[in-house]
Amino acid sequence: MPAQDHEQTILLGVTGCIAAYKACELVRLYKKAGKRVKVVMTPMGTEFVTPATFRTLSEEPVALKAVDDPNAAIQHIVLAQEADVFVIAPATANTINKLAHGVGDNLLTTTALATGAPLLIAPAMNVHMWRDETTQASLVALRERGAIIIEPESGYLACGDTGEGRLASVEEIFAATIVELDRARSLEGKRILVTAGPTREFLDPVRFISSPSSGITGYAIAEEAARRGAEVVLISGPVELPDPFGCTVIRVQTAQQMLAAAERHFKDLDAAIFTAAVSDFRPEATAQHKVKKKAASPEVRLVQNPDILATLAARVGADFDTAATPVAGSNPASSTAPAPGADFGTHTPFIVGFAAETQDVIEQARQKLIDKHADLIVANDVSSPTLGFASTHNRWHFVTAERVETSAVLSKKALASLLLDKL
């Protein structure tokens, strides 16, 4: 588990290139700043600087092999969990390409696969290796997954060439590390509620109305928020995803169940993020037994489901309005009285809604912002077959009353991080 209440742990990965000697200075800077530093080296890394040097500077054993001690805990898992941030400096083209493809063939690459800590990569290599198409594609893939690339500098290289590929300055790598460590604690003490996935509205015990929502977005947001120190309650419809690390997960099926669960937890929140693709309608009645094929074609009457976001967001307004200026009937949410025990203390939760649209994306989002009493609507165009619902990538428009900001096409994990930066 990332160190929260003690000194922060920086895991420094050192790979095999001449710039490895600069990692010694980096360890010194981290130590001077009062951080705990664990160094993990690739076998080639040890050809350039001996582990003894890093052991002395870091005052910690250096991790070299997965099974140094057969009686010890599993090294890569321990390292992965201890790390508040994983910095790979210098990172060779070889290691970068392996990371992009999920190869775990040494302790450093296996640990990178196992950790949920932010990953900072400071490449160092020959200019031709840097410009190589594979290397560039790997950097794009890693960036999309949320890794931070500390761009190399251009100049004279140890191999005699001139061009990009020289390790960024240790001061720059140090500063980027500190920014990440601060971000990792940016939501400490905050309580966040997230809804995710589709809902199922049953016609009979085996048939339901639903949507193809994968839940990836909500799960990525919940996990990232927990990683930044927030206390997270994730209310999820049926999805095929494991519980995200560090969150309280409540699994529900229907919109009504989702609303009931969200109501129970809609207290003392700092933010509520509604990503669920809730079914707007449900059958008026659910048959107790499976409807037989041979029966006459059944008529299905649909009724409106509650809008979870709008219902709860309106309560925030109601709670405050009644406390401040009790104007009878002025609140559109007056039909939904504050939940018993709803207590927002001195601050209102920041309400985020999502809007999946196929046309007039921004306009629709602006309208939703008003209709649903949200502070931010994250809008996305789901008309493209490669983005949105079941895909891993998306482009988001962050729509508030003041402005619209549009992201690049990024992985949902990277987008989750971007959203939490905005909170």
Question: What does the binding site for ligand C5P look like in residue numbers (CB under 6 A)?
Answer: 195, 255, 274-276, 278, 280, 305, 307-309, 353-355, 368
The distance of closest approach from Cβ of residue 179 to ligand C5P in the complex, given in angstroms and rounded to an integer, is 30
Strands (E), 138-285: 148-149, 153-156, 162-166, 191-196, 201-204, 207-209, 231-236, 247-251, 271-274, 281-283
Nearer of residues 108 and 276 to ligand C5P, judged by Cβ: 276
d(CA 201, CA 399): 30
Q: Is residue 230 within 8 Å of 192, Cβ to Cβ?
A: yes
CA distance 372 to 389: 22
Quick one: 195 or 411, whose CB is closer to ligand C5P?
A: 195
Nearest approach, Cβ of residue 333 and ligand C5P (Å): 14
Contact 275, 281 (CB under 8 A): no
C-beta closer to ligand C5P: residue 48 or 274 = 274
Q: What angle do CA 79, 84, 88 make, to 5 degrees?
A: 70
The contacts found for 360-368 with CB under 8 angstroms, 24 or more apart, are 361/397, 362/397, 362/399, 362/404, 365/397, 365/399, 366/399
Q: In terms of CB distance, is 219 or 354 closer to ligand C5P?
A: 354
Cβ atoms 38, 63 nearer than 8 A: yes
- Rounded alpha-carbon distances, angstroms, from residue 33 to 7, 29, 30, 261, 379: 10, 6, 5, 44, 41
- Of 204 and 280, nearer to ligand C5P (C-beta) is 280
Q: Give 92 or 236: the residue with its C-beta nearer to ligand C5P.
A: 236
CB of 409 to ligand C5P, least distance (A): 21
Contact between 204 and 291 under an 8 Å Cβ cutoff? The reply is yes
DSSP at 277: B
Note if the bond before 90 is cis, omega within 30 degrees.
Answer: yes
Q: What residues are labeled active site?
A: 159
Smallest gap from Cβ 183 to ligand C5P, in A, equals 25
Q: What is the smallest separation between the CB atom of 307 and ligand C5P, expressed in angstroms?
A: 4
Rounded to a whole number of angstroms, the minimum distance from the CB of residue 254 to ligand C5P is 11
The whole-angstrom separation of Cα 5 and Cα 296 is 65
